[in-house]
Chains A and B, each alone.
Chain A
Amino acid sequence: MKVPARSTSASDWDRLVAAARDDTAPPVALATLLRAVRLEPYPPRPEWVAEFLGLFAGTRALATCVAGIGGFALLVGWQAWTFLDSLPWAQLLDTATGGGVS
Chain B
Amino acid sequence: MYGTLDVSTSGMIAQRTRMEVIASNIANSGTIENAQGEYEPYLRRAAMFSPVSTNGVGMGVEVAEIQIQEGATRAEYRPEHPFADESGYLQVPDIDPTVEWVNGLQASRAYEANIVAAETTKNMMAQALRLLA
User: Do they bind each other?
Assistant: no
Residue ranges of B at the interface with A (Cβ–Cβ < 8 Å) = none
Residue ranges of A at the interface with B (Cβ–Cβ < 8 Å) = none
